[in-house]
Amino acid sequence: MTDAKDAAPTADAAGRPAANFIEDIINADLAAGKNGGRVHTRFPPEPNGYLHIGHAKSICLNFGAAAKHGGKCNLRFDDTNPITEEVEYVDSILEDVRWLGFRWNGEALYASDYFGKMYECAEHLIRAGKAYVCDLSAEQTSEYRGNFYKPGKDSPYRNRSVEENLDLFRRMRAGEFPDGSRVLRAKIDMRHGNLNMRDPPLYRIKRASHHRTGDAWCVYPMYDYAHPISDALEGITHSICTLEFEDHRPLYDWCVENLPLPAQPRQIEFARLNLTYTLMSKRRLLQLVSEGLVTGWNDPRMPTLSGLRRRGYTPEAIRAFAERVGVAKNDSTVDVGLLEFAIREDLEKRALRALAVLRPLKVVIDNYPEGRVDWFEAPNHPDDPSLGSRKVPFGKVVYIERDDFLESPPKKWFRLSPGAEIRLRYACLIRCTDVVKNDKGEVVELHCTWDPASRGGDAPDGRRVKGTSHWVSAAHAVRATVRLYDRLFTVENPGAGGADFRASLNPASLETLTEARIEPALAEAKPGERFQFERLGYFCVDTVDAKPGAPVFNRTVPLKDGWSKIAKSGK
């Protein structure tokens, strides 16, 4: 179940809660008196990879639908293929769902818990003449299946007797036959227009150690067979999955109808989430990890929940994002900008503000006494006094952002330039009097004068100073590593049209700055703590690499940059 606050969906202008077609179906089922008024959903990940933002949509949908109707939502691992499944993935999924803010009904469940029941169901089908053991090889099975345009033909083993099928199936289970030598198949219709109904395999022989059942089984059920059974056994009322399972629904229903099951769950399909400039397939995410193209599943550039978490995303932002993208059956690709909006929106109101300079430019205040230190009061949040304030030290030498000075400024440049006056945030006004360059002509140092009357940042004579820069005192600042993350790919849809997605990896997706300077108060920040570095963006202390005395910050998302827009438009 979810927290109370999770249940509050966004509302439209008329104040109606956001609805979607699944909600409509549930309401209609409720109105029709189905399932005794119960709503019970489930989130069924396969533990063969880490959860990503697309799963978050599904999690929010499933837990949200249940919560909305006072129902329950199970967390069930769909672990019917031991070859690809691992406990590492189970653990990460548990952690990610919990982190997202959802609490599942009872214990986490596993499809593998039902292997026994599934086996009994298989014998039931055999006895009913609705399943048979087939000796065709995988290749032959494929041939016999026909294709989109050609009907299939019956397997020569299709009409074995119940007794022979039972005997063979029991011996399959007992380990008498080699892997791949036989399968148990549903006896449906080899000429069905839907290939999934052409006598689909139900059980295959696979000698693989399972992460939970070990070597207890050498036959494992297929998804199409295991899923409806698992759902029914758990009393699931609405089994929500993605669109690619739409034409598996007839088989889902066939299982529900032909098996002695305690409930009749209903499968409903919705469009999976796609995001621009990223990848959402577990297979390809795994490839990024295994080929070392990223540092791991939790690389802050990954769309995984563990990556987003390390990047500094909050569960609240991800939930708000999931609510905003909606639920429908249209194939769609959401602009990653919407995700960025969600995290900015959340952090804007909660993140404490701080001063940090990413690329320092030395500024000497010529008329400021040597050795003097002023401590200026800076609010932790300019719009929320309840978040308190802190004192920041100011001295004769400060650093400002290199980007905040231009020797020959364009029109509408409010920042520093020779002769210009700006405000140092919360401190004072300074005017640039001299520019020092090195042999290569690069600006290496600025000389300024300060207006002692402008202490705190306001000019007593009322003169207007439009530009405000962030800064740190050279004598007090702490050196930090700051990682600037950008989108992982340079194209909206990496790998589109069969291209190698690795070819469109963004070489600038990570820029590591080692000369950054942060205000002293920030040096105490704990791993995972989030801040807004004023005028720059939202940053968090890295949970893996930050060490006491060696702070490392990750940029979650930059602030919207109005200046770059003006500069670009050339106006």
- Under rule CB under 7 A, which residues in 111-150 are in contact with RNA? 136-138, 141-142, 145, 147-149
Q: Which of 38, 185, 187, 282 is catalytic?
A: 282
Query: Catalytic pick from 130, 158, 272, 455?
Result: 272
Binding mask 167-206 for RNA (x = CB under 7 A): ------------xxxxx---------xxxx---xx--xxx
Smallest separation, CB 243 to RNA (Å): 6
Q: For residues 489 and 276, is the Cβ–Cβ distance under 8 A? A: no
* Stretch 433-492 residues interacting with RNA (CB under 7 A): 456-458, 467-468
Q: Report the Cα–Cα distance between both ends of the chain, in Å, rounded.
A: 53
Q: Taking CB under 7 A as the criterion, which residues in 265-304 touch RNA?
A: 271
Rounded to the nearest whole angstrom, what is the least distance from the CB of residue 177 to RNA in the complex? 10
User: Which residue, 39 or 510, has its beta carbon nearer to RNA?
Assistant: 39
Helix (H, G, I), strand (E, B) or coil at 6: helix
What is the residue whose two structure tokens read 């440049």?
413
**Which of the residues 353 through 392 are near RNA (CB under 7 A)?**
353, 381-383
Going by the DSSP 8-state scheme, the letter that residue 32 receives in this structure is T
Instruction: List the one residue from 329, 350, 390, 402 that touches RNA (CB under 7 A).
Output: 329
Catalytic residue check, 160: no
Q: Are 463 and 453 in contact (CB under 8 A)?
A: no
Rounded-to-integer distance, Cα 240 and Cα 22, Å: 9
Give the number of C-alpha atoms closer than 13 A to the C-alpha of residue 568, restricted to the C-beta side.
5
Closest CA to 329 of 239, 240, 266: 240
Q: Tell me if residue 391 is catalytic.
A: no
Question: Among residues 13 and 31, whose Cβ is nearest to RNA?
Answer: 13
φ and ψ at residue 566, rounded to 5 degrees: -65, -45
Angle between helices 249-258 and 223-233 (to 10 degrees): 60
Question: Which residue number, 84 or 490, has a Cβ lying nearer to RNA?
Answer: 84
Token couple for 188: 């449906």
Q: Tell me the CA distances in angstroms from 144 to 152, 153, 157, 191, 195, one per residue in order.
A: 5, 5, 12, 10, 11
Mark 397-416 with x for binding to RNA (rule: CB under 7 A) and - for no binding.
Answer: ---------------xxxx-
Q: Which residues between 489 and 508 bind RNA (CB under 7 A)?
A: none
Buried-exposed string 373-407: b where 16+ CB fall within 10 A, e elsewhere: ebebebebbeeeeeeeebebbbbbebbbbeebbee
Specify the residue, 84 or 506, whose C-beta has the smaller distance to RNA.
84
The distance of Cα 201 from the centroid of its chain, to the nearest Å, equals 34
Which one of the spans 29-37, 245-253, 364-372, 542-550 is the region binding RNA (CB under 7 A)?
245-253
| Least distance to RNA, CB of residue 448, Å | 16
Comparing C-alpha atoms, which of 437, 465, 434, 469 is closest to residue 451? 465
Distance CA 487, CA 470 (A): 26
**Binds RNA (CB under 7 A): choice among 6, 96, 113, 224:** 224
Q: How far from 171 is each of 182, 203, 217, 416, 562, CA to CA, in Å?
A: 11, 13, 12, 83, 71
Enumerate residues 520-549 that contact RNA by CB under 7 A.
532, 534-535
202 or 305: CB nearest RNA: 202
**Smallest separation, CB 267 to RNA (Å):** 11
CB of 446 to RNA, least distance (A): 16
Please select the residue that binds RNA; options are 2, 41, 62, 80, rule is CB under 7 A.
Answer: 80
CA neighbor of 414 nearest in space, from 465, 358, 459, 362: 465
To the nearest whole angstrom, how small is the minimum distance from the Cβ of residue 549 to RNA? Answer: 27
Query: Which of these segments, 288-296, 307-315, 343-351, 477-485, binds RNA (CB under 7 A)?
Result: 343-351
90 interacts with RNA by CB under 7 A: no
Report, in Å, the least distance between residue 518 CB and RNA. 15
Query: HEC string of 398-465?
Result: EEEEHHHECCCCCCCCCCECCCCEEEECCCEEEEEEEEEECCCCCEEEEEEEECHHHHHHCCCCCCCC
Which of residues 274 and 295 has its CB atom nearest to RNA in the complex?
Answer: 274
Cβ of residue 544: shortest distance to RNA, in angstroms? 27
350 catalytically annotated:
no
Catalytically active residues are 46, 272, 282
